[in-house]
Amino acid sequence: MTNLIFHQLFEKETFTYTYLLADSSTKEAVLIDPVLETVDRDFKLISELDLNLKYVLETHVHADHITGSGELRKITGAKIGLSGIYQSDCSDMALSDGDEIKFGEFLIQAIATPGHTAGCMCYKLDNMIFTGDALLIRGCGRTDFQGGSSDKLFQSVREKLFSFEDDYFIYPAHDYKGFTHSTIEMEKRFNPRLNLEVTKNQFVQIMSELKLDLPKKIHEAVPANMKCGAPATEASVPIISAKMVHEDLSSFKIVDVRRADEFNNELGHISGAQLATLGPELEVALNSLSKQDKIVFVCRSGKRSEEATKMAIQNGFEHVFNLEGGMLHWNEMGL
């Protein structure tokens, strides 16, 4: 008989849980949400258990820490799985809702749960659900960047996660109070934000009133994690995919930094975009925008808008992104 080998591993600086799952007979293993700082620990454990790491799965592109997925792929040859929504060009599997990941006799099911970010994915194995930041123990992830949406998170948790059996176990990506797991029933009853008594409007209001500081490492972590944890270069700035912007268009201010003639040429522009050509015109525009605005900068291919994003960060803007691939990528979506 084969057994599931299961290890919950804790990273103490960012309170992150990494999960190691393996088939005791075939030795095939999956690691969920590894952290760069604990790659050595995780790899040592994998070696001691004599496992063959087949997949590294990310519940989402993390903003608070850098993933260990790229490092582990280098050492073990594992394949990296991440939601296709992020359009990350470094992952090996662009996962969609319902996708299945097999290791030995075990089967993991991917469950799209957008809301904390647009590409959040939970992973279900038998009666265990690895919920990432979608559902935390007595809490949930914030919804104010990376295509986050309180509306969508409410729907993901209440319609998708809460549809599983009451005694299913919840294993989150973080816990800050020392809990290691919960159950669907306990969260239905005692989650202060998402218990069954809370309405969607109440939830949206709760989330809008959080006023959290940005994660300290976001401007380093997000671009690095889009590249599976590759160290961010000096020039790198937060990027966002066309798909993520499109999914949540109403929550962004779109600033197009091309010339006026390009704005109206054959590539067109994103509906509602404000034109502010890179240079003095953009500087003036930045003065009229709030530092709290969620801004996506756009150009033709993503190069000038990278400059614009950098300039905004230097001017103290906190929620700014460069549209990856610019209008070229945007138009490829065929909208």
Say which amino acid occupies 251.
S
Q: Indicate which single residue of 179, 188, 198, 214 sits in contact with a copy of itself (rule: CB under 8 A).
A: 179
- Closer residue to a copy of itself, CB minimum distance, 182 or 251: 182
Structure tokens at 237: 């700035």
**CA 108/CA 102 separation, integer angstroms:** 6
CA neighbours within 13 Å on the CB side: how many for 2?
A: 13
Least gap, CB of 63 to a copy of itself (angstroms): 20
**β-bridge partners, 23:** 4
Q: Is residue 181 within the footprint of a copy of itself (CB under 8 A)?
A: yes
Q: Is 189 in the site for a copy of itself (CB under 8 A)?
A: yes
CB of 181 to a copy of itself, least distance (A): 7
292 binds a copy of itself (CB under 8 A): no
Give the binding-site size for a copy of itself (rule: CB under 8 A).
20
Residue (80 or 186) nearer to a copy of itself, CB = 186
Answer for which of 178, 280, 316, 334 binds a copy of itself (CB under 8 A) is 178
On whether the CB atoms of residues 60 and 121 are closer than 8 A, the answer is yes
Binding segment for a copy of itself (CB under 8 A), chosen from 57-65, 186-194, 288-296, 312-320, is 186-194
Instruction: Looking at residues 11 to 30 of the shown chain, list those that interact with a copy of itself (rule: CB under 8 A).
Output: 11-12
* Cβ-based neighbour number of residue 270 at 10 Å: 20
Please give the DSSP secondary-structure letter assigned to residue 161: G
- CA 14, CA 10: separation in Å to the nearest integer? 9
- Output the smallest distance, CB 33 to a copy of itself, in A: 13
Q: What are residue 56's phi and psi, to 5 degrees?
A: -115, 120
Could you tell me which stretch among 37-45, 76-84, 206-214, 319-327 binds a copy of itself (CB under 8 A)?
A: 37-45
Do 267 and 300 touch, CB atoms closer than 8 A?
yes
200 makes contact with a copy of itself (CB under 8 A): no
CB of 185 to a copy of itself, least distance (A): 10
Instruction: Return d(Cα 149, Cα 115) in angstroms, integer.
Output: 5
In the structure encoding, which two tokens stand for residue 157, read together?
Answer: 């948790």
Cβ distance 50 to 210 under 8 Å?
Answer: no
Contacting positions for a copy of itself (CB under 8 A): 7-12, 38, 41, 45, 48-49, 175, 177-181, 186, 189-190
